[in-house]
Amino acid sequence: MKVQNRETPIPKTPQMNDRDFINDMLSTEKYMTDSYCTFLNEASHQHLYNEVLHIFTEAQNCQRELYNLMFKKGWYALEQADQQKLQQSYQQFQGYASQFPYNNMVQ
């Protein structure tokens, strides 16, 4: 079952429309934040890390706003999670957690 708002209609034309532009911007922001994450994980210079972290936060907020806009307009649908699949994933994680060296710290 999909979780989605009622879709805002867009005329079918060969030109890019609002949905196409926003989808392209969202994809770009996702790519950028992924790249910033890689940098942040490997940065050794503290000042540069702080600067890129600030830029990352702005890009992440922009990504979230674009996602919210697309979801609000019904242009972004999500699959509703099946309770049985959630329980299976939880049990699978619990099995992995028992293998951690400090498993008494995992709740």
Joined tokens for residue 26: 């969202």
Domain boundaries, the chain: 17-105
Return all residues near 1 (Cβ < 8 A) that are at least 6 apart.
Answer: 79, 80
| Gap between the Cα atoms of 32 and 63, Å rounded | 10
Q: Are 4 and 76 in contact (CB under 8 A)?
A: yes
Write the pLDDT tens digit of every residue in 6-54: 888 888 889 999 999 999 999 999 999 999 999 999 999 999 999 999 9
| Gap between the Cα atoms of 7 and 74, Å rounded | 4
Model-level pTM?
0.71
